[in-house]
Amino acid sequence: MTTTRLAEVAKYAGVSPATVSRVLNDKPGISPATKAAVLTALDVLGFERPTPIRSSRAPLIGLVVPDLQNPIFPAFADVIASALVKRGLAPVLCTRTADGVSEANYIEMLLAQQAGGIIFVGSSFADAGPEHCRTLKERKLPLVLVNPADVNLGVVQVCVDDAVAVRQALAHLTSLGHERIGLVVGPLGHVPSARKYAAFRVHGESHDSDGWRKLVAHTMFTAEGGRAAATRLLDQQVTALICASDTLALGAVRAARKRGLQVPDDLSVVGFDDSTYMPITDPPLTTVRQPVEAIAFAAVKALLTQLDGRPADAAELVFEPELIVRQSTGPIRRYL
């Protein structure tokens, strides 16, 4: 291969021309991730692979998400999968299904296929049970958890700062004059919801002793769950709601309209995630945006570190969210 072509491949793969040359000559000492990145660059740029490595297969990487109904999970899957492919890895999307295909099933399938690693988004391997957890640890399979639903110690975790998200929403709503602010979060035991709850509790205890407890509703992460939770909180005379997902927030808007209330005139609503289409909902949703790309790239980087045989920092890596103000929040008008 000419020097020019070597440089092209090196630039695409993000390595040096010398590394490309070592891969092409099947030299030892090249990590699987680096080799896969160079081979992918060859394929993308239309250069033929050398004969000794033509049959090399990109390592499979499991990408496990709870579902594809919540738009935040496809958003993460899209960025992570694209980043993995650019590094020469083959993502395999695994999503829990209504007919019973769970994390445990996917873990068994991925292990049987000799997967190189697994990234869990919004879920974790804890749901798979102690036997699968033990198997994963014994095999020392590279793992990364993104916003995990459960407590997982000793595993690389990349998360959004849920406490900051709630504080940002509270600061926004209180600046608009709201005092009776409710919180709609996921089920008990869901870690991101627990973190949001803890931040809300700090605010509540500093303003209203124990009265804040009546302003919290736990529910499932569905629009119907958001509607039911918001209905309960409207009975508590709230004038604003902070929701743990955009889907919950849209359910809250529906609950308000069912009562003949207007958003934001009678009720302000804040979501979380800044999912696709939130700028064009009716009204456009004020929400706390997750830095999806930054979190996704950090997760892939942590996985690549492990694939290279280097230990990844098991300390939780936390990213700060950003409040996006739109038309679903406004100054307090009256108490309901």
Beta partners for residue 272, in sequence order: 288
Q: What is the DSSP letter of 95?
A: E
Domain at 3-53: CATH code:
1.10.260.40
Which residues of the chain does CATH 3.40.50.2300 include? 60-160+291-321, 162-289
In whole angstroms, what is the distance from residue 131 CA to residue 180 CA?
Answer: 46
DSSP strand pairing (317-319 vs 90-95) = unpaired
Q: What is the mean predicted confidence (pLDDT) over 272-292?
A: 96
Question: Mean pLDDT in the chain?
Answer: 88
pLDDT value for 54: 44
Band (pLDDT 50/70/90 cuts) for residue 334 is low
Band (pLDDT 50/70/90 cuts) for residue 130 is low
pLDDT value for 56: 46
Q: What is the mean predicted confidence (pLDDT) over 100-125?
A: 79
pLDDT tens per residue across span 12-21: 888 998 998 8
pLDDT value for 250: 97
Residue 334 is inside which H or E element, if any? none
| CA nearest neighbour of 196 among 224, 234, 169, 223 | 169
Give the DSSP per-residue string, 125-181. GGGG-HHHHHHHHHHT--EEEES-SS--TTSEEEEE-HHHHHHHHHHHHHHTT--SE
Q: Which two tokens stand for residue 283?
A: 């009204």
For the CA atoms of the chain, what is the radius of gyration? 23
Beta partners for residue 317, in sequence order: 158
Q: What is the mean predicted confidence (pLDDT) over 177-194?
A: 95
283 prior amide bond cis, ω within 30: yes
Place of tokens 């005092």: 179
| CA nearest neighbour of 173 among 239, 256, 246 | 239
Residues 123, 106: contact at Cβ < 8 Å? no
Angle at 5 between CA 3 and CA 6, to 5 degrees: 60
Q: Comparing 103 with 82, which gets the higher pLDDT?
A: 82
* Burial of 58 from C-beta contacts in 10 A (0-12 / 13-18 / 19+): buried
pLDDT at 274 over 70: yes
Band (pLDDT 50/70/90 cuts) for residue 201 is very high
pLDDT value for 297: 96
> Domain 162-289, CATH 3.40.50.2300 — does that match?
yes
pLDDT at 97 over 70: no
Q: Comparing 22 with 53, which gets the higher pLDDT?
A: 22
Q: Which of 53-62, 144-153, 207-216 has the lowest mean pLDDT?
A: 53-62
Give the DSSP per-residue string, 269-320. EEEEE--TTGGGSSSPPEEEE--HHHHHHHHHHHHHHHHTTPPPP-SPEEE-
Q: Which of 65-74, 161-170, 271-280, 324-333 has the lowest mean pLDDT?
A: 65-74
Angle at 224 between CA 250 and CA 245, to 5 degrees: 45
Band (pLDDT 50/70/90 cuts) for residue 335 is very low
Using a pLDDT cut of 70, give the percent of the chain over it. 91
SS3 (DSSP) at 200: helix
Band (pLDDT 50/70/90 cuts) for residue 314 is confident
pLDDT at 104 over 80: no
DSSP strand pairing (286-289 vs 143-146) = unpaired
In whole angstroms, what is the distance from residue 121 CA to residue 172 CA?
Answer: 29
Q: What is the DSSP letter of 237?
A: T
Residues 197, 203: contact at Cβ < 8 Å? no
Question: So what CATH class is 60-160+291-321?
Answer: alpha beta
pLDDT value for 57: 47
Residues 300, 83: contact at Cβ < 8 Å? yes
Q: What is the mean predicted confidence (pLDDT) over 290-300?
A: 96
pLDDT at 53 over 60: no
Residues 270, 240: contact at Cβ < 8 Å? yes
pLDDT value for 199: 97
Q: What is the mean predicted confidence (pLDDT) over 283-298?
A: 97
- Helix/strand/coil percentages in the chain, nearest 5: 45, 15, 40
pLDDT value for 59: 77
Band (pLDDT 50/70/90 cuts) for residue 52 is low
Q: What is the mean predicted confidence (pLDDT) over 238-243?
A: 97
pLDDT tens per residue across span 166-182: 999 999 999 999 999 99
In whole angstroms, what is the distance from residue 142 CA to residue 305 CA?
Answer: 9
